[in-house]
Amino acid sequence: MSAPTGPAEVRASAAIIVAAVIEDGRSLDDVLATGGTIKAIAGLIEELGGSVAKMLFLIELKFLGARKALEAYSVDSLMSY
């Protein structure tokens, strides 16, 4: 398999990865920092016709303010710093 060469191929590859992870039931992210990674993943899920019911994290780095970027989603974490 060759590496993606353009934006459309990158998005398609990312969508395949997200779909495979969700189908397998594995965690996508365990630390909430800026929210950029999980927001991008949520966008891909929604593009594929899915919906994000809740975002759960083991650790949240509150001082980075990710919840502001994720206001459209239900977000919880077990520990926060």
Instruction: Let me know if residue 27 belongs to a domain.
Output: yes
SS (H, E, C) the chain: CCCCCCHHHHHHHHHHHHHHHHHHCCCCCCEECCCHHHHHHHHHHHHCCCCCCCEEEEEECHHHCHHHHCCCCCEEEEEEC
pLDDT number for residue 43:
86
Band the pLDDT of 70: cuts 50, 70, 90. very high
Q: Which domain holds residue 14?
A: 7-80
Q: Residue 1 pLDDT > 60, yes or no?
A: no
In a domain, residue 2? The reply is no
pLDDT of amino acid 56: 86
CATH number of the CATH domain containing 50: 3.40.50.2020
At 26-67, the pLDDT tens digits run 556 678 999 988 888 888 778 877 788 888 888 999 999 999
Residue 79, pLDDT above cutoff 90: yes
**Prediction pTM value:** 0.65
